[in-house]
Amino acid sequence: MIKCCKIDSVISVGKDRQITLPEGCCEIGDKMTVIDWLKDGKTCCICLVKGSVTIDEYAEMIKKVSIK
């Protein structure tokens, strides 16, 4: 089990490509960065990261998870 992450919920994408995030994962007005992970040129994962997290911090988080 990965201790740094958890599945909070499964969400649907609406007809206008809008999503509703679960309560408690962010605050109203928070900026989010959308990170598109590609495999064979197609999106396989989409990550939402709080905008206050730098790309270097995100890369370090991914390194720690992928090493385990």
* 16-27 per-position pLDDT tens digit: 999 888 888 888
Residue 13 phi, psi dihedral angles, 5° rounding: -100, 125
With respect to residue 12, please indicate whether it lies within any of the assigned structural domains: no
Question: Domains in the chain: how many in total?
Answer: 1
Residue 47: pLDDT band with limits 50, 70, 90:
confident
Residue 49 lies in a domain: yes
> Is residue 45 assigned to a domain?
yes
Please report whether residue 27 resides in a domain.
no
Distance (Å, rounded) from C-alpha 3 to C-alpha 14?
31
What is the pLDDT confidence band of residue 40, given thresholds at 50, 70 and 90?
A: very high
* Domain that residue 41 falls in: 32-67
Q: Is residue 36 part of a domain?
A: yes
Which percentage of the chain shows pLDDT scores above 70? 87
Within a domain: 16:
no
Coil/strand/helix, residue 46: strand
